[in-house]
Structure 1
Amino acid sequence: MCASDARVEALSDGYVYDPERLSAEQCTGDACVVCHTRWPRPRTALGVLPDGGAVFGCGDCAALVGAGAPVAADTRVFAAR
């Protein structure tokens, strides 16, 4: 199981990610939980692990899953891996 020191109590009712499907970098917050991007380091909390550790996403992926800043309906949003 992935270990994480990060805790986000505000996301306790959010999406719970299965650590078995994530890489060690994703579990520790060093890579985006959606697209695996490592740089720049993801900063938007997208959910939690079963042990309460937070998982993070890059700004583009956070916008795609609805966790980032709102995006206007006529704005194109892309995610690249």
Structure 2
Amino acid sequence: MLMLFLSLVPPSFLQLWDVFSNGYWHAKSVEFTNSGLLSFFDYFRIPGDLVFIFFGAIPFFVGSWKVWRGNARTSTN
């Protein structure tokens, strides 16, 4: 939800405003998508990514490591 509301919704509204102001092709152009304001919103993705990393990826790898180590110990005995 953090990634959705911090990094996707605000640029989407900016792009929608640009569609109404300058037309669809300008809003999809490289000039608009690489503008400083849209690049600024890329940094708002970090909190959502950190939640995913700390509560999803790290527990997954720790559990996988424990299972792998447990299987390695039992297969050598």
Per the shorter chain, which TM-score range?
under 0.3
| Higher gyration radius (CA) | 2
TM-score by length of 2: 0.26
Query: Which is richer in helix?
Result: 2
Q: TM-score, structure 1 length as denominator?
A: 0.25
Between Structure 1 and Structure 2, the one with more strand by share is 1
